[in-house]
Amino acid sequence: MATGELALVSSLFIVVVFLLLGAVAREASALTRHDFPEGFVFGAGSSAFQVEGAAAEDGRKPSIWDTFIHQGYMPDGSNADVSADQYHHYKEDVKLMYDMGLDAYRFSIAWPRLIPDGRGEINPKGLEYYNNLIDELIMHGIQPHVTIYHFDLPQALQDEYGGILSPRFIEDYSAYAEVCFKNFGDRVKHWATFNQPNIEPIGGFDAGDRPPRRCSYPFGTNCTGGDSSTEPYIVAHHLLLAHASAVSIYRQKYQAIQGGQIGITLMVRWHEPYTDKTADAAAAFRMNEFHIGWFLHPLVHGDYPPVMRSRVGVRLPSITASDSEKIRGSFDFIGINHYYVIFVQSIDANEQKLRDYYIDAGVQGEDDKENIQCHSWSLGKVLNHLKLEYGNPPVMIHENGYSDSPDIFGKINYNDDFRSKFLQGYLEALYLSVRNGSNTRGYFVWSMFDTFEFLYGYRLRFGLCGVDFTAAARTRYLKNSARWYSGFLRGGELRPEKPYATL
């Protein structure tokens, strides 16, 4: 052989070896659920208001969301009166979860179904429904992970004393939470006190575009009253105190006997600077403090973040020494809902006389669609942040998912490979974080079914399982992503191109 030929052969040989190595590496890098720590929980979720329907049935009374919707404030005019009708379909739904291989189902209890007036009498039909749902899940080997409050405040409490804006909320919430522990805690081992208490004060009391529609000029529109400069902070304070109170009741009276865990679920967006200017880096830091630290700083360190204290001043309620003691450490895990990263810019808050949460934070860009982006690396940033700033608490990822719009894709859309791809990216990021020391213990896709989405109605569909909202029977159907997730849950490789599980 001439030297030239030898070189060609050997380089061909190298290419072949490379291809083989590549294939081996690819094979090794395809994740399965067994690459996650023992006991890691995989599930999917929903919330009562979004899937139950039966809004006026068996004694349920309105929540502030029923009122909001029926006053005509949903941009698309939709309502949640029937929604996915899980109230009548729970057996079929649990069977679907079982067939898919879910370890756990995250759902919430509707306060206005269990205690229709907000306090006092328990509704026996409400009690029966949640007992049935929980029993059905357990019978199928699926863990119930229960959110006690997911935005659906009984209207009665709003009417009586202004709902969460009043400190009276703390006592009524605590009593309601105790009804849940007492009646369901023998079977429910995973409790979250609140869903997204760092979001409810903004929509309801700053922008006023969600119930109870409070805001003040020049923030938000068409409000019934309110003060965007103070109320969001007061409401968050009450939510924090109500959380600590419920946890203290659980720990003192139920936890030792029932052996469960209790936490709180925050929306955790990640904020990145829009430019490489130091001012924008500072803005991203502040926004993460205002958004995540608002709750996590008190929960871990006993007080609001210093940057909030200095910028909000006396409008930020003080945490007394005894409250601080109650709040600090009042969780066994932190639930996080993570979807996207937002690129933010700094604004000069000192020039503004009228202030709200975002001006206090000195950021802009939060509501600009172009600045809101989905990148799976942001989950890694979030988990790293929790590890470094908050002592690496046990974490449950309570929501992560991707929506499509039936306006674009047709009313029934089985072919949602974009969803499987999205979820795969985040699961791979999660795996890397766990390998790098994150204390994450579970992952729930939002959502198990298409639901009524707060503010978006049925225009956004997140479900692994579709629901035909035009059919009286609310027919369920499996999307490709449900088959894909099922394959992974049963130990298959995490790859969209793999054949789907046969369900």
Of these, 3, 72, 222, 256, which contacts ligand NAG (CB under 6 A)?
Answer: 222
Q: Does 436 bind ligand NAG (CB under 6 A)?
A: yes
Identify any residues that bridge with 477 across adjacent strands, giving them in sequence order. 466
Residue 212 is given by DSSP the state T
Is 115 or 429 the residue whose CB approaches ligand NAG more closely? 429
Is 271 or 387 the residue whose CB approaches ligand NAG more closely? 387
Q: Does 221 bind ligand NAG (CB under 6 A)?
A: yes
How far apart are alpha carbons 128 and 309 in whole angstroms?
Answer: 45
Q: Tell me, rounded to whole angstroms, the distance of Cα 219 from its chain centroid.
A: 26
User: Could you give the 3-state DSSP secondary structure of residue 106?
Assistant: strand
Is 177 or 379 the residue whose CB approaches ligand NAG more closely? 379
Active site positions, annotated: 399
Q: Does 380 bind ligand NAG (CB under 6 A)?
A: yes
How far apart are alpha carbons 111 and 128 in whole angstroms?
Answer: 14
Is 222 or 322 the residue whose CB approaches ligand NAG more closely? 222
Residue 155 CB, nearest approach to ligand NAG (Å): 20
Residue 357 CB, nearest approach to ligand NAG (Å): 19
Is 74 or 114 the residue whose CB approaches ligand NAG more closely? 74
| Residues contacting residue 178 through CB under 8 Å, at least 6 positions apart | 246, 249, 253
Is 347 or 455 the residue whose CB approaches ligand NAG more closely? 455
Residue 436 CB, nearest approach to ligand NAG (Å): 4
Cβ proximity of 115 and 83 under 8 Å = no
Is 302 or 425 the residue whose CB approaches ligand NAG more closely? 425
Q: Does 3 bind ligand NAG (CB under 6 A)?
A: no
Q: Which residues in the 167-186 window bind ligand NAG by CB under 6 A? A: none
Q: Does 392 bind ligand NAG (CB under 6 A)?
A: no
Q: Does 203 bind ligand NAG (CB under 6 A)?
A: no
367-375, 379-387, 439-447, 483-491 -> range binding ligand NAG (CB under 6 A): 379-387
Backbone phi, then psi, for 457, in 5-degree steps? Answer: 60, -130
How far apart are alpha carbons 83 and 449 in whole angstroms?
Answer: 11
Q: Does 224 bind ligand NAG (CB under 6 A)?
A: no
Residue 359 CB, nearest approach to ligand NAG (Å): 20
Q: Does 475 bind ligand NAG (CB under 6 A)?
A: no
How far apart are alpha carbons 236 and 460 in whole angstroms?
Answer: 28
Write the burial class of residue 3 (CB in 10 Å: 0-12 exposed, 13-18 middle, 19+ buried): exposed
Stated as kind and residue range, the H or E segment containing 27 is helix 3-29
R_g of the chain computed on alpha carbons? 24
Residue 240 CB, nearest approach to ligand NAG (Å): 28
In this structure, the number of other CB atoms found within 10 A of the CB of residue 93 comes to: 24
How far apart are alpha carbons 352 and 233 in whole angstroms?
Answer: 18
Q: Does 384 bind ligand NAG (CB under 6 A)?
A: yes
Cβ proximity of 470 and 456 under 8 Å = no
How far apart are alpha carbons 28 and 22 in whole angstroms?
Answer: 10
103-111, 129-137, 380-388, 441-449 -> range binding ligand NAG (CB under 6 A): 380-388
Nearest of 339, 253, 334 to residue 299 by alpha carbon: 334
Structure tokens at 81: 């009166």
Residue 387 CB, nearest approach to ligand NAG (Å): 6
Is 115 or 382 the residue whose CB approaches ligand NAG more closely? 382
Q: How many residues bind ligand NAG (CB under 6 A)?
A: 7
The 3-class secondary structure across 403-451, one letter per residue, is: CECHHHHCCCCCCCHHHHHHHHHHHHHHHHHHHCCCCEEEEEEECCECC
Residue 328 CB, nearest approach to ligand NAG (Å): 23
Of these, 120, 225, 437, 499, which contacts ligand NAG (CB under 6 A)?
Answer: 437
How far apart are alpha carbons 430 and 33 in whole angstroms?
Answer: 12
Residue 195 CB, nearest approach to ligand NAG (Å): 25
Q: Which residues bind ligand NAG (CB under 6 A)?
A: 221-222, 380, 384, 387, 436-437
